[in-house]
A and B are shown apart, each in its own frame.
Chain A
Amino acid sequence: MTDKQTESCTGFLCGFLALLKKPSARYSLGILLLLGFVGGIIFWGGFNWAMEMTNNETFCISCHEMRDNVYQEYKETVHYSNRTGVRATCPDCHVPKEWHYKVIRKIQATNELLHKALGSIDTREKFEAKRLKLARHVWGVMKETDSRECRNCHDYESMDFVAQGRRAVNRHSTGLEKGKTCIDCHKGIAHSLPDMHEVDPTAVVGN
């Protein structure tokens, strides 16, 4: 009895599923293809549009965790304000440009939504307590990807060492050979650094 009921269920969902399974005898193949094509554009475009909506500074600082902590620090740095007027915003450094890396990063970002809901860093004190851990995540990723997001703008190949300062020439030309990547030296260029006792004890007072 129950089997028969599921076979010929009359609910909206069952009816819709049955319709999907049946070959169309009513609409021409051309119409179906056209609808599929238009639908594809709408859904694919919509997906990318939604992804771009979450990929700008306004979205990032719509959370007070970002706006009150890291954003304020970034505003004092060269990536926010400089003589040429070129600016790198949050996603320029924190979201990959290539599509599939970007989607992977966006999926990982759902974890950030969870912690937003949990309130993991919803006060200054909580954020400062976690700063080293969070910074290490970002440094680790940058190290793994050979500072890919930095290289979207800064490329060794396009660097004119002659035009660089005395200190920069030395370190850039030797850094390359040693297999170093941007983040190895340029930590904390866009945000304040965490307590560095564990990272470089010689660069912190006492201990």
Chain B
Amino acid sequence: MIKPLQIALLMVLVNWMGLSQFALAEHVVSLRGHNALDNASRAPEQKHWQKDGEPIVRDYVQQPPLIPHQTTGYKINRKFNKCLTCHSWANYKEAGATKISQTHFEDRDENVLANVSARRYFCTQCHVPQVNTKPLVGNTFEPIKAISGR
């Protein structure tokens, strides 16, 4: 059997929890900012892919090199890989491109294959083109001096 005092305590507790949630909600800012629902939100600035440039220096050991050019419309599927038309071992010299790493010819059991391994075939899973924009979240990352020389 619940005593009246216990009921009163429970009610106070529930009330306090509700109030604290309300207080917390005041500090949360949604992506829309303090913008009434019937106001249109401001469209984010359109970002542009960086134009062709020199290869980008790596910032840490084992970093997949970044793509220093646009890749709009480049397709990678079972029948064809647009990247490899320049970056494959057969094509890189004529294209003046960086050749695909030898590590990409290994399957997961470290068997060396005659062609690019299926698990390393989808280039853009690791290699990405760049946009010059402000980071959404600040960080204090410093590149490794041994690689970047900075």
Task: Encode B65-99 as 1/0 by CB contact (under 8 A) with A.
Answer: 00001001101001111101110111100011100
Give how many A residues have a beta carbon under 8 Å from the other chain's beta carbons: 25
Q: List residues of chain A with CB under 8 Å of any chain B CB.
A: 76-78, 165-168, 170-171, 188-189, 192-197, 200-207
Query: What are 17 A-B contacts defined by CB distance under 8 Å?
Result: A78-B72, A165-B51, A166-B54, A166-B69, A188-B75, A188-B80, A192-B75, A193-B79, A195-B78, A195-B79, A196-B79, A200-B84, A201-B115, A202-B90, A203-B84, A206-B113, A207-B115
Q: Assess whether B69 is in contact with A167, with CB atoms less than 8 Å apart.
A: yes
Cβ–Cβ < 8 Å partners of A167 in chain B: 52, 69, 86, 95-97
- Residues of B in contact with A (beta carbons under 8 Å apart): 51-54, 69, 72-73, 75, 78-82, 84-86, 88-91, 95-97, 113-118, 121
Q: Chain A's nearest CB lies how many Å from the CB of B107?
A: 10
CA distance A5 to B144 in the complex (A): 105
Q: A205 to B104, alpha carbons, bound, how many Å? A: 11
Chain B residues with Cβ below 8 Å from A188 are 75, 80, 82
Residues of A contacting B: mostly = loop
Contact A165 B69 (CB under 8 A): yes
A197 — which chain B residues lie within 8 A by C-beta? 79
For the complex formed, measure the closest distance between the CB of A87 and the CB atoms of chain B, giving whole angstroms: 15
Q: Is the CB of A166 within 8 A of B115?
A: no
Contact of B52 among A76, A165, A192 (CB under 8 A): A165
| Residue in A closest to B100 when the chains form the complex, CB atoms | A202
Residue of A nearest to B120 (CB): A205
A184 → chain B, closest Cβ, in Å?
Answer: 11
Across the two chains, which residue of chain B brings its CB closest to A203? B84
Question: Are B118 and A206 within 8 A (Cβ)?
Answer: yes
Asked if residues B85 and A205 are in contact (CB atoms below 8 Å), the reply is no
Known pairs A171-B95, A205-B118; A166 contacts B52 (CB<8 A): yes
